[in-house]
Structure 1
Amino acid sequence: MIQLQFEVHKIFYLHPGGWGQGDLRDIITLLDSVVTDFYAHLEVGQITHKPVFVVNSKNKNPPSDSPEILKLDKLNLIFLNTSDRLWSQYSYQFAHELCHHVIDADFYKTNDKFGWFEEVLCELASLFCIDKMSQTWQTNPPYTNWKDYSISLADYFKAIIEKPENIISKQFKVWLTENLELFYRDRYRRTENRIVALKLFPLFKHRPEFWTTIQYLKFIKVTASMNFDDFIEAWTELVPNKLRELLFEIKATLIYD
């Protein structure tokens, strides 16, 4: 089966099967838009040049009911669990997996103690991209007749951030400290990951240059004795001097707030 190359970001390809009533060119245009919006805040030259194939999760062997990224030696596979014209869902899922592609870490193979924080950042990428697209599409949608979809994107974003389970009854620092051991054991605590992502969201929304810092995570040498404070310190040491102020703000927001 022929893989369809993206129009703008040429190392991305769409596997054509399983998307229901979604027009394949529309899906490519949409996902291209997500890449453009996210990459606008990154050091693009530092992103892995491995080709990325986007596949409907129904075509995975065995089929899956959840989005994920599978990193292989020479390419990455992104599986999305959506179809038809659910553009908000496509965007949300793809932004998350795209963030994994950008971070390009192998924590899950070496020491996954802080894999949960990668998941937090990828959830944050979903929130960031949906929110940004809901605004840019008001005036500059991929197609002129998609302008009204900005409302759907905004509604999708609002529904996610207003979920009752996002509310915690304790000071954030206390709550995070109490949950760290659970995070260390399981990167896929989706509700808790979203709570942390929402804590970081204002920083990244108002100063998108924060996104460049995620490109240095993969260089951290995680050890079993590291705590979260140590992890942030190691990250801070790896970023260029001009970005260290941003890491201080992340640390202040998560650990000292």
Structure 2
Amino acid sequence: MNTTNFNKRKGWNLIHDDIENPNDLDRTLFLLLKTSELMEFFFKVSAPDNLEIHIDTSRTTPLNWANEPKISLSCQPTLWSQLIYQFAHEYCHRLIDSPFPSLNSLWFEEAICESSSRFFLKKMGITNLKDKILQKYKFNFIEYSNSLYNSNMETPWSTNQIFLNNDILKRLNIETTAPKRPYLNFLSTKITPIFSAHPDLWANVKDIRYFSNENSIQENIEIWQKRNSNIKEILTLLKSK
């Protein structure tokens, strides 16, 4: 494995297998840095120090390591749409940075970070990436994001059943550690347009770290709503009419 420093101000390193074309390595580093900067701007937070990003294709799934300054990605480093998709999800967890995650709301954080992947893929698709190769490639980011909306649920369900239907909650909780996530993906399909309409909501996402195990997930979201009135749209999506 090779180590490449690419955010000297913050001491970030990319740990990766050999990338034969040095220009491709530079593009991979640029995309990770640009995506992180976009996310920090919307989340209104500073980048963490001494972060290690591991690209490990032997893994089956990516992971934000809760107790280490480390993110593991499982895609090929030059599959740039997947790179941004995986990184934007795991970096979302990193920016929330909950020291004691609320066990009853892990599925909710997963759905929000899935929405982060889709939202920031599209943002990168309309960002000036300067490099000629990346400028041509960036339209793939939008296509990749759009493709995530095209998977159909085997069993259609209504999001406003979540607080009332234990079977749906059980399925969502199981999927937080599963490689296939049809229910979480479906929920993200419904949540992402709310963030697209109100991008200022990303600045409140870090407050998910304050969700308490002493509250129900509905109570946590109702408290969270006090920080931004547009969160009401997410609550309305989940709450029975």
Q: 1:96 to 1:44 in 2, by over 3 A?
A: same
* Cα offset, 1:133, TM superposition: 1.4
* Superposed counterparts of 1:103-118, under 5 Å: 103-107=96-100, 111-118=102-109
Q: Deviations over 1:12-52 (max 9, x none)?
A: 3211325576832221101111112212212224x6x3421
Q: Deviations over 1:175-207 (max 9, x none)?
A: 664312333455236211111111111111122
CA contact (8 A) 2:84 2:117 kept: yes
1:214 lines up with 2:208 in the alignment: no
CA contact (8 A) 2:77 2:83 kept: no
Match in the other structure for 1:182? 171
Distance in 2, matches of 1:203 and 1:185, equals: 25
Q: Which runs of 5+ in 2 are unaligned?
A: none
TM-score under structure 2 length normalisation: 0.85
Q: 1:162 to 1:184 in 2, by over 3 A?
A: closer
* Superposed counterparts of 1:1-257, under 5 Å: 3-7=3-7, 10-17=10-17, 23-45=24-46, 49-58=48-57, 63-72=58-67, 75-107=68-100, 111-136=102-127, 140-165=128-153, 169-174=156-161, 177-178=164-165, 179-184=168-173, 187-188=176-177, 190-223=181-214, 226-236=215-225, 239=227, 243=228, 245-256=229-240
Distance in 1, matches of 2:92 and 2:129, equals: 22
Distance in 2, matches of 1:87 and 1:34, equals: 11
Q: Deviations over 1:97-153 (max 9, x none)?
A: 000100101445xx42211111111101101111211222xxx12413321212211
CA contact (8 A) 1:92 1:127 kept: yes
Across the two proteins, how many residue pairs are aligned to each other?
Answer: 236
* Cα offset, 1:91, TM superposition: 0.5
Give the percent of matched residue pairs that are identical in Structure 1 and Structure 2. 23
CA contact (8 A) 2:161 2:238 kept: no
CA contact (8 A) 1:57 1:79 kept: yes
Q: 1:207 to 1:141 in 2, by over 3 A?
A: same
Distance in 1, matches of 2:209 and 2:97, equals: 6
Q: 1:37 to 1:12 in 2, by over 3 A?
A: same
Distance in 2, matches of 1:187 and 1:234, equals: 23
SS in 2 for 1:200: helix
Q: Deviations over 1:219-245 (max 9, x none)?
A: 22212xx332112123335x3xxx2x1
Q: 1:103 to 1:212 in 2, by over 3 A?
A: same
CA contact (8 A) 1:21 1:84 kept: no
